[in-house]
Structure 1
Amino acid sequence: MRDMLRIYGVVGAESDELVQIAREARQKGWWHPYSTVLVGAYVGLEAAASSIRAYEQQVVPGLLETEEYAGAMIRAARPDFTADQVHQRVRVRLGRQSLLTQDDPVDLWVVLDEAVVRRPVGGDEVMRGQLKRLVEVAELPNVTLQILPFEVGAHAGMDGTFTILSFPEPGDPDVVYAENATGGLFLEKSDELQKYSFIFDHIRAAAIRPEESVAHIAKLAEEPLWKWRPKGSPWT
């Protein structure tokens, strides 16, 4: 691995991280403290997947974000980032979205907690644009979108956000990915995959139907139920 990296001109800290990942690659469910490399690893798996099932608690998934929403979300989540770093992250996210419209598009099934469509990331105008984008993407035949409403109370996905990636080759097992602020977790053990598939099935069963979900999002885009207030303004 190190020899190959040298041939490709990859040296220093990035080379060390990749070599360490290669050492750990046989371990199932290995933890990554390598946030930069991890993002690339996930994007590669995402591009190779034939279907993606995702549950999101806080934000719109990258495959469905508008440029304005992505920028606002990254700036808020990573105040340590420079403007150039934010721009690069946004470009990557927008580039990934071609997976939904390419000749052989990925099948995407997303369940969004209601908090995702209620929180006005970037302000009212940015959020309206994002909600309209969700309605547009949901019209694609390979995209299914559902909302998990607050009224269901406690549910099977309370432990957190996750994504299940499935691949076209029969010999390639599914992969579960759970992301956090410092890295992420890839899970491949059969019992782990079964658990997350079980959780996702329960979440989508509890969510409102796709057509009703899209109608709800469209209504919010026209008459949002939040009131956007500038930072520091009093709550009423």
Structure 2
Amino acid sequence: MASEEGVRPVTEVVKALRHNRHIADNPSYETIGRVSHMLAARKTLVYGVQVEGIPRSTANDLLRGKRVRGPIKLWQVLSLGATLRWIADQNDQLDADAMIPIPELRRLYYGAEQREPSASAGGKTAARPRHHWPPAGPPPSIGPVEAVPGAPGMSREREQATERLLDDARRRGSDAWWSAYEGVVPEWLAAYLTLEREAQEIRVYAPYRIPELLQTREYARHTIREDMPGLDRKTVARLVKLRMRRQELLRRSDSPEYWAVVNVRALQRGTVPPDVLRAQLKHLLTMANFRNIEVQFIKDEAARDVICPRPITIMRFAEGGYLDMVFVQHPDHGIYHYRNTDVAYFSLCHGTLAVRAIQPFEMVRTLLKALDRL
């Protein structure tokens, strides 16, 4: 077992573990405890980690970011990470390759500079290569996705099923819930509007604006006019109404889990009138009370080398047999991704952003500071 050195900075470790639990389909703390003890009893080596049993209460404390008895130990972090990876590997419906790898969990544990200690007190700092777009591989802050012999991968059948799901959504335009707005919905957005209503989980990165599902009416009106200045008043009103109807999704009894990472640039005034932005920020404070909604803010310099500055949405569906669907939105078109490698890449990017972002419990404080600056 590795030696520990007092209390470590654990904020990024907790967020990384929470991301991995999400990818593993949110197993219960009881399941995590039972599986970890089973792996420990069998002396199973999981991705180079000799798993030790994790009590259910300890798993709960670690994943919720609560203070545990004494400092968090490296073996706890690695055993929990390995247990979550083992759980995900048993279900070929899950995209286990989108998890933050075990070596990265170790580096996060040893500090923000990603210093890996040697047997002595020395260590080396991993260099971070410059990120390029389009992506040639996973983001540099995470490191290469581990290729482990025998690890189950995503099947071609699931890619084909997801492609059929997208094609079906495109054909259902005239029968979709938004068909009354067909005249103002661009063709490239139609399938997304259909699939958004059917998603069980929605993960978002918003690089410069508040996400559309969290916008107030006036903020939506302002952004629509800014993006499409040539529209007449009636068309703008219909688009605003459509956006408000989309938001009903988050208030349903069976609402999806919604997780947004928002660049702090969205909290700055820019061209948004101060009264409109003030009302928008207060609205976000209200949305913070929704159990199914989680919002994190990230500084621009922390997000810049992770992913292109475009709104990204990752949708997961309740029915088995599908990969997640990724939608990258541009001003005048949208791109859908459903290939295994693409989905794994964007999931890793969202996980990296979440790790680097301000913790969710800091959301209210961040918003109050932004309101004070107005």
Give the TM-score of the pair, scaled to structure 2: 0.49
Select which of 318, 343, 355 maps to 1:205. 355
Select which of 108, 111, 120 maps to 2:261. 111
* Residues 121 and 48 of structure 1, relative CA distance in 2, 3 Å threshold: farther
Q: Which one has a bigger Cα radius of gyration?
A: 2
Are 1:52 and 2:190 counterparts? no
Residue correspondence of structure 1 range 209-228 to structure 2 within 5 A: 209-221=359-371, 223-224=372-373
- Tell me the residue number matched to 2:213: 63
Q: Secondary structure at the match of 1:214?
A: helix
How far residue 170 of structure 1 moved from its aligned partner, in angstroms, is: 1.0
Distance 2:303 2:348 in 1: 18
How far residue 159 of structure 1 moved from its aligned partner, in angstroms, is: 4.8
4+ runs deviating over 4 angstroms: none
Task: Tell whether the 8 Å contact from 2:310 to 2:330 is kept in structure 1 after alignment.
Answer: no
- Tell me the residue number matched to 1:91: 241
- Tell me the residue number matched to 2:69: none
| Deviation readout 1:26-68 (Å, 9 max, x if unpaired) | 9xxxxxxxx7122221111100000100001111111100000
Q: Secondary structure at the match of 2:327?
A: strand
Select which of 214, 217, 223 maps to 1:73. 223
* Residues 193 and 151 of structure 1, relative CA distance in 2, 3 Å threshold: closer
* Residues 199 and 71 of structure 1, relative CA distance in 2, 3 Å threshold: same
- The aligned amino acid for 2:248 is S
Task: Tell whether the 8 Å contact from 2:207 to 2:309 is kept in structure 1 after alignment.
Answer: no
Task: Tell whether the 8 Å contact from 2:201 to 2:316 is kept in structure 1 after alignment.
Answer: yes
- Tell me the residue number matched to 2:98: none
* Residues 153 and 145 of structure 1, relative CA distance in 2, 3 Å threshold: closer
Are 1:122 and 2:272 counterparts? yes
| Aligned CA-pair RMSD | 2.1
Select which of 189, 214, 237 maps to 1:39. 189
Residue correspondence of structure 1 range 107-186 to structure 2 within 5 A: 107-150=257-300, 152=302, 154-186=304-336
Comparing 151-160 with 125-134, which one deviates more in the overlay?
151-160
Q: Secondary structure at the match of 1:72?
A: helix
Aligned residues: 195
Comparing 142-151 with 126-135, which one deviates more in the overlay?
142-151
Q: Secondary structure at the match of 2:315?
A: strand
- The aligned amino acid for 2:256 is V
* Residues 151 and 36 of structure 1, relative CA distance in 2, 3 Å threshold: closer
Task: Tell whether the 8 Å contact from 1:145 to 1:214 is kept in structure 2 after alignment.
Answer: no
Report sequence identity in percent: 28
Q: Which runs of 5+ in 2 are unaligned?
A: 1-163, 169-184
How far residue 214 of structure 1 moved from its aligned partner, in angstroms, is: 2.6
- Tell me the residue number matched to 1:189: 339
How far residue 151 of structure 1 moved from its aligned partner, in angstroms, is: 5.1
How far residue 87 of structure 1 moved from its aligned partner, in angstroms, is: 0.6
| Deviation readout 1:119-176 (Å, 9 max, x if unpaired) | 3453100000000111111210000000002353633124532110100001122100
- The aligned amino acid for 2:336 is F
Task: Tell whether the 8 Å contact from 2:326 to 2:343 is kept in structure 1 after alignment.
Answer: yes
- The aligned amino acid for 1:114 is V
Task: Tell whether the 8 Å contact from 2:207 to 2:262 is kept in structure 1 after alignment.
Answer: yes
Q: Which runs of 5+ in 1 are unaligned?
A: 1-21, 27-34, 226-236
- The aligned amino acid for 1:75 is R
Task: Tell whether the 8 Å contact from 1:72 to 1:121 is kept in structure 2 after alignment.
Answer: no
* Residues 197 and 106 of structure 1, relative CA distance in 2, 3 Å threshold: same
Distance 2:269 2:287 in 1: 20
Q: Secondary structure at the match of 1:50?
A: strand
Distance 2:303 2:284 in 1: 24
Comparing 149-158 with 42-51, which one deviates more in the overlay?
149-158
